[in-house]
Amino acid sequence: MNQAVAYRIHLDVARGRWYLTAAWRRPVVQTIPLQAVRAAGMCLAPG
């Protein structure tokens, strides 16, 4: 899954330091209501 990442590079001249910030978005995930899972008879317990 290819996702874009935005980078920001900043020089703080007074401190003599570089800062790097990265930002990205998490993809939207579809969820199923618990009541629907139970109604369909799916087992959520492992094993």
User: In tens digits, what is the pLDDT along the chain, a chain of 47 residues?
Assistant: 677 899 999 999 999 999 999 999 888 888 888 888 778 776 666 65
What pLDDT does residue 5 have?
92
Coil, strand or helix at 35: helix
The domain spans of the chain are 1-25
Given a contact cutoff of 8 angstroms between Cβ atoms, the answer to whether 32 and 44 are in contact is no
Please state, in angstroms and rounded to a whole number, the distance separating the CA atoms of residues 37 and 44.
9
What pLDDT does residue 26 have?
83
DSSP state of 29: -
